[in-house]
Amino acid sequence: MAELKVLNVSKTLDTVHTLSNLSLQLGNNEFAVVLGPSGCGKSTLLNIISGLIRPDQGKIEIDGEDWTGRTGRTSYMQQKDLLLPSRNILDNVAIPLLLKGINKKEARKIAAQYLKDFGLEGFASYYPRQLSGGMRQRAALLRTYLFSSDILLLDEPFASLDAITRRKMHFWLMELRQRYQPSVLFVTHDIEEALLLADKIFVLSARPATVRLEINMSPTAHEHEQVKKQILSILENENNK
Amino acid sequence: MKKSVNIAGNSFPPIISFIILLLIWEFGVRLYHIPDYILAAPSQVIEAIIQKFPLLMFHTTATLLEAVTGFILSVAIAFVIAFLLTSIIWLNRAIYPLLIVSQTIPLIVLAVLFTIWFGFGMVPKILVVILVCFFPIAINLINGINSVDRDLINLFRSMGAGSLATLTMVKLPSAMPSFFSGLRISATYSIMAAVIGEWLGAQRGLGYFMTLQQKSFAIDQVLAAVVIICLLSLLMVKAVDLLEYLLIPWNRKQNKLEYWEQNTNN
């Protein structure tokens, strides 16, 4: 089971009121996308869920347990790949296993099993600098997955990639999802990306952010257009505020 | 094909300019009949090196030993300082200004004081080398550690890494390129610092040798020692380059790749 609940979270960063009474839920094996205008506090939300910062008010519950302000349960991936330039790909993705106390040899063995599915077969001994942006993001995703395989927080993971690579990554991610069935909270400001990937979309307001609209996606294309218009009108309103 | 052209293009100009400079010097000295107690010609310097080779080597070993000892101790001291200053904030505030001040004191004065306190042996020379060499290493190491991406450190925190794991996995490797640029600067200074220490009073070493030869106006011998000093300094830098090549392979591969990319793009 991997159920995540964000309950009435508020946060003021320095003097900026960033999140206001924000609640959302991520069900088991669900792929939820958080959409919002730029600078609305999406990354702050993920920082709070991952436990890196404490909310001023509210709670983070995972499988009924309180995880507010505690790191180590969910795994968190950012827009930057944040791979260590000093380690080759295999040793980079094995880091979470090493941090859990697994010895080096064993960690490498476990990590190596996943390279093929993550499109990194044959690149184990390459350094991050030698790989393309898409491959580096896949390596970062594998590292994220190896830390915690059931709840993944992805903060605009493909934003720095070019359009074609991003599209390939979307299809690859959907395949991967079918195979590994994680619960994913995916932050983006790209509506197309949200419509393509999501089971559920949370549209956030401008700062202080709160959930403006929650949409459960159904697979018909006709409805996609309507949903898109609906989201666009909300986001435009928020940007004009 | 292109590669060989490039290597030739890189190393020919300095060699040619160096030879031209030596030729001008040689002919200048001969043409204007400059007496050898004023300036010796390159040929005379080479002759002096050959003639006095055993004596020069006797002094060189002392200088090299002082420089290398001081250099290695500098690295150790720089690491201790960098660790303490980057992990304890109030210590950084307290110590950092002192580090800067340590570099503003005239070296000559300190070298004399060291000789008064510690005599004419190797210790005062090693201290001068340390004083000159630790600073660039420490400053670069501190900068390297401090300039690690905050997001990277946050990522490691979110994965439950302790401060020791963060230091050894993230901070230290990231600081290595910066550390080596400090190390290279110190390597060039190390021999010179040992020579300055010897100049002010010693029983052995190239600096001591030069003071003796200078007093008897043996300019060719003084310059012979200068040549040796230059060669030793280059040797130190090359040793650092080799160490960097061995210790941070990830930078090496990157460079090769960039080199390759540049050449294919052109």
For residue A161, the model assigns a pLDDT of 83
Task: Share the mean pLDDT of chain A.
Answer: 85
User: At A77, phi and psi to the nearest 5?
Assistant: -125, 135
Task: Tell me the pLDDT of chain B (266 aa) as tens digits.
Answer: 444 445 555 778 889 999 999 999 999 999 999 888 888 999 999 999 999 999 999 999 999 999 999 999 999 999 999 999 988 889 989 998 999 998 898 988 888 999 999 988 899 999 999 999 999 999 999 999 999 988 898 888 888 888 888 888 999 999 999 999 999 999 999 999 999 999 988 889 999 999 999 999 989 999 999 999 999 999 999 999 999 999 888 877 555 555 444 444 43
Identify the structural domains of chain A with CATH numbers, from first to last.
4-74+150-240 (3.40.50.300), 84-147 (no CATH)
CB contact under 8 A, B253 and A127: yes
In angstroms, what separates the C-alpha of A117 from chain B's closest C-alpha?
23
The Cα A95–Cα A111 span in angstroms is 9
CB contact under 8 A, A72 and B160: yes
Interface test with B, best of A127, A149, A151 (most B CBs within 10 A): A127
For residue B253, the model assigns a pLDDT of 56
Task: Give mean pLDDT, residues A202-215.
Answer: 82
Q: Is the pLDDT of residue A184 over 50?
A: yes
In angstroms, what separates the C-alpha of A232 from chain B's closest C-alpha?
31
For residue A221, the model assigns a pLDDT of 60
Give the chain B residue nearest A52 (alpha carbons): B158
Task: Give mean pLDDT, residues A148-161.
Answer: 85
Q: Would an 8 Å CB–CB cutoff place B157 in contact with chain A?
A: yes
For residue A234, the model assigns a pLDDT of 81
CB contact under 8 A, A127 and B149: no
Q: Is the pLDDT of residue A225 over 50?
A: yes
Q: Which of residues 202-261 of B touch A (CB under 8 A)?
A: 248, 250-251, 253-254, 257
DSSP-derived 3-state class of residue A59: strand
Nearest CB among B157, B173, B254 relative to A52 is that of: B157
Task: Give mean pLDDT, residues A129-135.
Answer: 87
Each residue of A14-41: pLDDT tens digit? 888 888 888 888 888 889 999 887 777 8
Identify the structural domains of chain B with CATH numbers, from first to last.
53-258 (1.10.3720.10)
In angstroms, what separates the C-alpha of B14 from chain A's closest C-alpha?
32
Give the chain B residue nearest A91 (alpha carbons): B169
Q: Which contiguous run of DSSP H or E holds residue A153?
A: strand A151-155
**Chain A residues inside the 8 Å CB shell of B255:** none
Under a CB-based contact definition with an 8 Å cutoff, are residues B194 and B186 in contact?
no
The ipTM of this complex is 0.80
Under a CB-based contact definition with an 8 Å cutoff, are residues A31 and A199 in contact?
yes
The Cα A83–Cα B173 span in angstroms is 12
Q: State the Cα angle at B187 between B104 and B25, rounded to 5°.
A: 95
For residue A197, the model assigns a pLDDT of 86
For residue A220, the model assigns a pLDDT of 65
Q: Tell the residue number behind the tokens 């960097």, with chain if given.
A: B244
For residue B1, the model assigns a pLDDT of 42
Under a CB-based contact definition with an 8 Å cutoff, are residues B244 and B180 in contact?
yes
Cβ-Cβ pairs closer than 8 A, A with B, add up to 63
Which segments within A14-97 are labelled E, that is strand?
16-26, 31-35, 57-62, 65-66, 75-77
Under a CB-based contact definition with an 8 Å cutoff, are residues A152 and A75 in contact?
yes
For residue A100, the model assigns a pLDDT of 87
- Paired with A31 in beta bridges are A184
Give the chain A residue nearest B175 (alpha carbons): A86
Tokens of A49: 């869920």
In angstroms, what separates the C-alpha of B38 from chain A's closest C-alpha?
54
CB contact under 8 A, B158 and A72: yes
Task: Give mean pLDDT, residues A167-193.
Answer: 87
Q: Would an 8 Å CB–CB cutoff place B175 in contact with chain A?
A: no
Nearest CB among B151, B174, B254 relative to A80 is that of: B151
Under a CB-based contact definition with an 8 Å cutoff, are residues A56 and A12 in contact?
yes
